[in-house]
Amino acid sequence: MKGIILHGGHGTRLRPLTHTGPKQLLPIANKPMSQYALEDFRNAGITDIGIIIGDVYPEKVKEYYGNGENFGVKITYIHQDKPKGISHAIKLCKDFVGNDKFIVYLGDNILRKGLVDYKNKFESSSTDALILLCKVDDPSRFGIAEIDFDSSSIKKIIEKPSEPNSDLAVIGVYFLTPKIFGIIDKLKPSARGELEITEALQLLMDENNSIQYETVTGWWKDTGTPEDILHANQLVLDSIGKENQFVIDKDAEIKDNVVIGKNTEISSDSCVNGPVIIGTNCKIGSNVTLGPNVSVGDNSVLENCKVENSILMENCKITASVHLSNSIIANGSQIETNTHQSIHQLLLGERSQLKI
């Protein structure tokens, strides 16, 4: 079985964070969000992985993942010239997939439970597709599935209905067979100019093929907005110290629900309230309060500040009497001030400098 990670898209709702790189490389708990998908594949025994890259800094994706050797997998890169939809991206993988069953995983999704159980069920079945569903509060944002619970079967799959009849979203993980390629060939672009995966799945059903579903236990997170990223960061940090926690750096130290990277120094007059993760070679100076729900990237320096419910990426420097909350600060940003402390909510792109 093969794995495919979709790593394209422009991430317009995440600007300015995505002006300098693809959204799937934005860190959740100090790890690029697409790495969670890659590790889910690896942990499920799937090591032959195709990554669909688009026109948003594809070289950064290749630079980070390389040939996959450092992650225990083999990576093949497949280029999609424009974001023409999930089905279009899948179609580009026909040669890579060959005659194998495969799993498509959107690179901006995080699944708490992982893939092992679902993969084993699909691998041993004769079904033509398996989709994962999750209850959501705002189903009009997603493709949704209407279920006949008496027969445990899917009645209909609809893309972002204005008046949804179901609260079960089709999440961004699809278990497929090569039969889907013939279905995609019959699709026409939707009103937004894309080949929709929901239309492909519906057509697969209409032609009397078998589709099964599983309802996700635990949680699933789509990270399309800054608020989603902060929430995902909180959900991942909540796993620290718990059974089946997300993988962290083997050289890191765990104290209760705080992860401290190698060569990181924390001043004795600072306070860290978990869950918090601090990367390597960081200096947490005097009069700093971190947490809860904070990620601090490698090589960052903090002094005289309070940070909660926020993500600070690598090489950040904050020597400011500020209180940051619900903020995302991109790589290499600096915040300096001589004013008295006040609460700020910030979204800073890469290498920003702010004096307040």
Q: List residues bridging with 132 in a β-sheet.
A: 214
In this structure, are residues 161 and 139 in contact, taking their beta carbons and an 8 Å threshold? yes
Quick one: pLDDT at residue 221?
A: 86
Distances in Å between the Cα of 66 and the Cα atoms of 61, 74, 77, 314, 345 are 8, 9, 10, 20, 35
In this structure, are residues 167 and 136 in contact, taking their beta carbons and an 8 Å threshold? yes
Quick one: pLDDT at residue 354?
A: 58
Quick one: pLDDT at residue 10?
A: 64
Q: Is the pLDDT of residue 343 over 70?
A: no
Q: Kindly indicate the confidence band of residue 251, based on its pLDDT and cuts at 50, 70 and 90.
A: confident
Quick one: pLDDT at residue 338?
A: 59
Q: List residues bridging with 325 in a β-sheet.
A: 308
Q: How far apart are CA 175 and CA 172, in angstroms?
A: 10
Quick one: pLDDT at residue 53?
A: 94
Work out the percent of the chain whose per-residue pLDDT is above 90.
63
Q: How far apart are CA 284 and CA 307, in angstroms?
A: 12
- Interval 24-29 mean pLDDT: 92
- Interval 264-268 mean pLDDT: 94
Q: Kindly indicate the confidence band of residue 150, based on its pLDDT and cuts at 50, 70 and 90.
A: confident
All structural domains of the chain, each given as residue ranges with its CATH number in brackets, are 2-224 (3.90.550.10), 253-355 (2.160.10.10)
Q: What is the mean pLDDT of the chain?
A: 89
Q: Kindly indicate the confidence band of residue 247, based on its pLDDT and cuts at 50, 70 and 90.
A: low
Q: Is the pLDDT of residue 293 over 80?
A: yes
- Of residues 346 and 159, more confidence is placed in 159
The model's pTM is 0.90
Residues 6+ apart with CB under 8 A from 206: none
